[in-house]
Structures are given as C-alpha cells and as structure tokens.
Amino acid sequence: MKKVLMLSYYFPPLGMGGTQRAAKFARYLPEFGWEPTVLTVKPISYWAEDSSLLEEMAATRIVRTGSLDPQRLLHLLTRRAGKETGAAAGREGAGTSGGTAAGQEKAVTFGGAAAWLNRKLLPWFLLPDSKILWRWHATRAAARLLRSGEFSAIWSTSPPHSTHLIARRLAHRFRLPWVADFRDEWAGGVVVHEPTPWHRRRQQALQGKVARAAAALIGVTPGIVAGLEAAGGSGRCHLITNGFDAADLATIGEAAMNREEAHFTLCHCGSISRFSNPAPLLEALIPGDARWLRLRFIGYDANGGFEEQVRRRGLEEMISWRGYLPHREALVSMAAADALLLIACDAPKARFIPGKTFEYLASRKPILAISNVEETIRLLEEMPGVILCAPDQPAAIRTALLRLQSEPELLRAAAERNVQHYDRRDQAGELARILDRITEER
C-alpha cells in the first residue's frame, strides 16, 4: 500500500464542516490502496469541538505539532489562565463546601476581538494568512516523516492557504508529487481579506506559485476549479465537491420517526454567518405562523445577536437555536425535521456551495434554499424537491414556506434525487485515482 502525507491545519477533534473533508478522505483512502498520515496542529482556540469525529480515525496515524499562529497561542494563554484561575479558586474554597475544584478550565472560543484580529488586522502583515506561522513546526515535523522515504505523495488542503505553501516547499525538497485541495477560493474572492490592491496582487502571485507547482489541483466548486485553471493550473485541475458519508446517515434513520406531529418543522444545520444570514427568512415570518411552524437552528452564531433578532420580531415561540452540536446530533435533528433550510448569500460572484448542502441532498428531504450565489443556485436548480428563492424576495420566501407544508409531492420528488457521486467513499476513490496517476507519471 502506498503512503500519502496529508497536511490539514483544521482536523478533528475540531468541529464544523471544514474539518470533515480531510477526515473522510483519510478514513476511506486505505480502501483504494493509499495509507494516510495526517499532519495537523495541536489544540487551538476554535469555535467548536467534536471529539466523536475522531472515533473513525482510530486506524489513522495523526501527527500534531505546535504553532506560533494566533489560534494556537490563544489556546495556550487561555489554558494557562484557566489553570491559574482554577488553582486560586481552589485555594480560596479550601475547607468550605461548594468550592471550585483546582485546575478546572473554562472553555474559551476563538471569537470577539481575537476573531477580528485574525480576520481584519493580521492580513495586513501575514500572507497569505496568519497560519503561515505554523510553517516552521509543520515543515520540521513533515521532514522527519518524509526522510523515511516511505511516502509516495503529499496532499494539502486549504483554508488556510498557507498550508499549500508549506506543502510546495516539502514537495520540492523531497521531490514528491503533490496535490493541492481547495475548499474555498483564494485570491480576488469574497473569503480572503485583501486590504489593498497590493495585497490582492500578492495573494494572486502566491496562488500562481501553488497552481504552477502542484502535480494536481482540486476544487470543491466549478468556479474554484476555473480560478485555479486561470492561475496557472491548466490541464491539472479536478472537481471533487464536498459530500456526505452514507455511513453517517445510515445510523440516524430512526430519528425520522421522532418528528413533531403538531407542527411542520424546518431545520437549519450549520453556522449562522455573513454567508448564511437568516435575516431574509425572518423578514418573511409573522408571529402568527407559530400556530403551524417550528424552525430549529443548529450551529455556531458567528454574527452574534441571533436570539435578539428573534426576540425583536416576536418569533420566540416559533424559533429555537441550539448552538453547535456534535455532527451526529446535528444529523439526528436534520432527520427529525420535515424540511431543511439552506441559506447561501453573498456577492453573486462568490464561488462557494455550503458544505452541508450535500448532506441535505442525501437526506432526501424537501429543501428551501435562499441564495443569490451562482454556484449554489446552479447545483440546486437541477435537484428535485428544492425550492429556490432570492434573499430580497420575502413574499416568495413566505410562499415557499407554505408550499413546503402543503405540497406532499415535494417530498416524493426529493426521494428521487441521484446523489451517489457525492458519497465521501466514492470521492476518496477519485482522489486515489489522482494520486495513482501523478505517482505513475514520475
């Protein structure tokens, strides 16, 4: 069996959708003749953790390194502060009932001022992103692994895009073929903050170096693939979308029997962010809809203030928000709903399709999609059982809600979706074939 070194900064037990692509590739690649070793970072300050995602990684070798980037440093600082606070509380409470246990740590997420620092300030100084400060630790650990001569290829995934620069240097040094995988667009898009035209040109130059050097490049949307082709990867680019794991969905089928009988239930799984702002949906609702409708939101509120928006509109009886849940629990809530809500809004030129889209499609439940993003619209308009609405049309959104509740043919149409090519196992097979080809061409 051939071996591949996989570089993925974000990896379980970190939660949220961005970690699952690398984890699922690592899980299924051995079935296609490739044994992965994952190189990632040690614990960082992050929005969500889901240790259950590591359960299927028991057979995978995972190497974790330190880093000097802000998320790693913030984790170390808050852990130390938590220990000191816990120790002080233990001393103060010694000999009294109800004292706090010494060493108890308080969970601190990467939000507020720290998130602003990472997104808005550091892009002025650190290119392509702040995770370039992982380079020294990652390169040293990777070199120790690669010196064994056991590895046949390197694979890296972004964001952060600095991971590709690390992989590029390693591929050149050890003369190994390398695959660069892109979960988001890079230069000139809507995701990477580029403070000035100079920063944009510099990001384009770095992207061009990666595109020209990689033996193969993979994008998760056609637009990202087109951008990589234009950046210098012509003839070496492939589309492997995000996907779903049939094994995950098979374990939650019974939850579909636990639906609320008295109300029609619509579920939104995934972060609330500027790309998935529920404001267009809230504008289409009135408090009286609580007689027949329930909406469940599951995911981290990156915008902040979602509960306040709901209260201000008088929609508390109708809308619940659970925050981030482990992946399996989120899937159970999805399975127990009558229909699913997808929101993908930004500039029309944006090149993204929300990762949860593919689990939504595989659930074979009706979907209300509110989007103005061409990539997302193009995928969903071909899918049965999906109602598409523009975010600036509250009347159309309200009509769509009523249709979901009153038209059982939407459920029958959703059951006819053909989504096999989005299965994570099949996608790992596609990656294995790319790895086979680039190693045979050496």
Strands 216-219 and 151-158: unpaired
Count of structural domains within the chain: 2
Torsion of CA 47, 52, 56, 61, to 10 degrees: 60
Q: Give the pLDDT confidence score for residue 115 in this predicted structure.
A: 64
Over the stretch 24-81, which tens digit does the pLDDT of each residue have? 999 999 999 999 999 999 999 998 899 989 988 999 999 999 999 999 999 999 887 6
Assigned token pair, 153: 């290829």
Give the residue numbers spanning the domain of 177: 2-70+108-243+424-440
| Nearest one of 231, 200, 324 to 269, comparing CA atoms | 324
Asked whether residue 263 is domain-assigned, the answer is yes
Asked if residue 83 belongs to a domain, the reply is: no
Is 255 a residue whose pLDDT tops 70? no
Determine, yes or no, domain membership for 357.
yes
Q: What number of H helices and E strands is found in the chain?
A: 16, 13
Min mean pLDDT across 5-19, 96-110, 170-184, 240-254 is at 96-110
CATH of the domain at 394: 3.40.50.2000
User: Is residue 304 in a domain?
Assistant: yes
**Residue 414 gets which letter from DSSP?**
H
Residues 189 and 265 in one domain: no
Compute the Cα dihedral for 161, 162, 165, 169 and give only its sign.
negative
Do the Cβ atoms of 392 and 401 come closer than 8 Å? no
Query: 134 with 53, same domain?
Result: yes
| 81 part of a folded domain | no
pLDDT at 80: 75
> What are the φ and ψ backbone dihedral angles of 108, each rounded to 5 degrees?
-125, 125
Q: Which residue is it, tokens 């009286």? A: 288
Q: Is residue 94 part of a domain?
A: no
Answer whether residue 255 is part of any domain: yes
The model's confidence at residue 173, banded by pLDDT at 50, 70 and 90, is: very high
Q: Same domain for 231 and 255?
A: no
Q: Same domain, yes or no, for 401 and 412? A: yes
Q: What is the pLDDT of residues 335-384, one digit of tens each?
A: 999 999 999 998 767 889 999 999 999 999 999 999 999 999 999 999 99
> Quick one: 383 and 270 in the same domain?
yes
Q: Which residue has the tokens 């030129």?
A: 349
Give pLDDT, residue 89: 41
Answer for the pair 2, 33: CB distance below 8 angstroms, yes or no: yes
**Co-location of 156 and 17 in the same domain:** yes
